């Protein structure tokens, strides 16, 4: 029988256990780590990283790392990703020690704030320097949280995407498809934490648990390393004799997969099945064939684990990976490509225009132009004309300062040094 090249079932066992480090960064990341530990994840595998001392004191993680500087004074990053990034760079050696001798690093964070957005890319870069496979599990803000948090999250996503091997993202805005009018704010954020914890636990189980169908670590590295891809995920569970069909229906209709649209666009689909000793091969085949039918162009990676606690139960974790989309193009491409790409991005409103000046074109009547030329032949008249002329300021339109939009002006002795000297001092440039 010919093997399907798009399906990679692996029944071989790894020679040595895969060393995994699970890092919760910032308040959102720490909450997910706490949920994982409460659900049975060994605390020794988990690390809590933050600039806020109080949140770390309450953490159950095996390792706690407070990134402290005199600038922060133990009060956290104040929602500023630049501060988070600066303090992470200052403690890069500590982050390097944290990820030493680790095969896979899970980075868990919420983007939009200071610590999660600023520290996570630095930790990702340090982990990559240690030759680890780096996967980021992140959330992005609700739209009602404001444009500033959304902009910070978008910039953080682009920065993170440049260094990690894969991003598994939960846009919190999609939770509106899973909640009703009566769901409280606390319950909504709890659902977000639980969803992210479920997919992390599913991937960790695939990498570390022996199964009937194993996903070999080297294969995972081969399909993910240096792809910098974006991933969506979904989990489903069912009980009873019709569990395989019920799980498949839940996955294909899952709102986080846009009712199957994500599967049709994906390049890699990772499928993890967990069942009891009564799990049949026909059930595994039914689920995988159903997913493969919706993702015909994707490479399907399958893992199946038998767990005694899953008697008559079937749980499936699905991760669909696709290349970075046009809306998440990084700044480097805008400068590397010709003007066509930059113009396309500006039309979509996805990239802030660079700082530029647009002066109006000078227009003079023909007789006035002739008169000015004739005056140039008479030195004395030129000097007389120059004495009457005054230096003016062209009506230049400053469209944007680019990344310096949020920068504070440089004030010295009451003067704004960002304004050119000849304008501040009224110097005539003749």
Task: Please provide residue 315's backbone torsions phi and psi, each rounded to the nearest 5 degrees.
Answer: -120, 135
- 3-class state of residue 334 by DSSP: helix
More confident call, 356 vs 82: 82
- Can you tell me the distance from the alpha carbon of 167 to that of 159, in angstroms, rounded to the nearest whole number? 11
- Can you tell me the distance from the alpha carbon of 388 to that of 406, in angstroms, rounded to the nearest whole number? 41
Residue 100 burial (CB < 10 Å; 0-12/13-18/19+)? Answer: exposed
Could you tell me the pLDDT band of residue 334, with boundaries at 50, 70 and 90? very low
- Can you tell me the distance from the alpha carbon of 69 to that of 74, in angstroms, rounded to the nearest whole number? 8
- Confidence at residue 402, expressed as pLDDT on a 0 to 100 scale: 53
pLDDT tens-place string over residues 95-104: 999 988 899 9
Residue 246: how many CB atoms within 10 A of its CB? 16
- Can you tell me the distance from the alpha carbon of 94 to that of 73, in angstroms, rounded to the nearest whole number? 19
- Confidence at residue 430, expressed as pLDDT on a 0 to 100 scale: 59
Residue 237: how many CB atoms within 10 A of its CB? 16
Q: What percent of the chain has pLDDT over 90?
A: 27
pLDDT tens-place string over residues 209-230: 777 777 777 777 776 776 666 7
Q: What percent of the chain has pLDDT over 70?
A: 72
Query: In which residue are the tokens 């009224």 written?
Result: 426
Listed by start position, the domains of the chain span: 12-225, 352-424
402: left (phi > 0), else alpha (psi -120 to 50), else beta?
left
pLDDT tens-place string over residues 385-408: 444 455 555 555 555 555 555 566
Query: In which residue are the tokens 């893992």 written?
Result: 303
Overall average pLDDT of the 411-429 stretch: 76
CA 282 to chain centre: 38
- Confidence at residue 166, expressed as pLDDT on a 0 to 100 scale: 84
CATH number belonging to the domain at 12-225, selected among 3.30.420.40, 3.30.1360.120, 3.40.50.1440, 3.40.250.10 = 3.40.50.1440
- Confidence at residue 7, expressed as pLDDT on a 0 to 100 scale: 44
């Amino acid at each position: 029988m010919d093997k399907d090249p798009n399906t990679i079932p692996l029944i071989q066992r790894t020679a040595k256990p895969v060393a995994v480090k699970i890092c919760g960064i910032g308040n959102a990341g720490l909450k997910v780590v706490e949920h994982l530990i409460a659900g049975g994840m060994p605390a020794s595998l988990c690390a809590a990283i933050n600039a806020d001392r109080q949140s770390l004191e309450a953490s159950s993680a095996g390792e706690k790392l407070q990134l402290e500087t005199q600038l922060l004074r133990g009060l956290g990053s104040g929602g500023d990703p630049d501060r988070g990034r600066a303090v992470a760079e200052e403690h890069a050696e500590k982050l390097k020690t944290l990820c030493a001798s680790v095969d896979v690093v899970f980075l868990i964070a919420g983007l939009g704030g200071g610590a999660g957005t600023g520290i996570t890319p630095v930790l990702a870069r340090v982990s990559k320097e240690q030759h680890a496979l780096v996967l980021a599990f992140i959330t992005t803000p609700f739209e009602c949280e404001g444009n500033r948090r959304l902009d910070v999250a978008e910039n953080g996503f682009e920065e993170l995407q440049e260094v990690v091997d894969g991003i598994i993202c939960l846009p919190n805005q999609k939770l509106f498809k899973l909640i009703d009018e009566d769901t409280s704010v606390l319950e909504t954020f709890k659902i977000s934490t639980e969803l992210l914890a479920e997919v992390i636990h599913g991937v960790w189980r695939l990498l570390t648990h022996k199964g009937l169908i194993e996903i070999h670590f080297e294969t995972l590295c081969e399909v993910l390393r240096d792809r910098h891809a974006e991933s969506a995920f979904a989990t489903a569970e069912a009980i009873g004799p019709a569990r395989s069909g019920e799980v498949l229906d839940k996955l294909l209709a899952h709102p986080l997969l846009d009712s199957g649209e994500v599967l049709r666009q994906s390049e890699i689909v990772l499928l993890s099945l967990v069942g009891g000793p009564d799990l049949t091969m026909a059930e595994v085949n039914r689920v995988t064939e159903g997913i493969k039918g919706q993702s015909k162009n994707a490479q399907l990676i399958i893992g199946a684990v038998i767990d005694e606690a899953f008697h008559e139960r079937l749980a499936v974790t699905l991760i669909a990976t696709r290349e970075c989309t046009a809306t998440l193009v990084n700044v480097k491409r805008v400068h590397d490509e010709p003007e066509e790409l930059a113009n396309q991005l500006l039309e979509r409103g996805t990239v802030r225009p660079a700082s530029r000046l647009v002066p109006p074109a000078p227009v003079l009547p023909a007789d006035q132009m002739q008169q000015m030329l004739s005056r140039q032949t008479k030195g004395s008249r030129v000097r007389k004309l120059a004495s009457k002329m005054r230096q003016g300021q062209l009506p230049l339109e400053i469209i944007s300062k680019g990344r310096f939009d949020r920068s504070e002006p440089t004030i010295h002795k009451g003067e704004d040094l960002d304004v050119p000297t000849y304008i501040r001092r009224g110097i005539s440039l003749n």
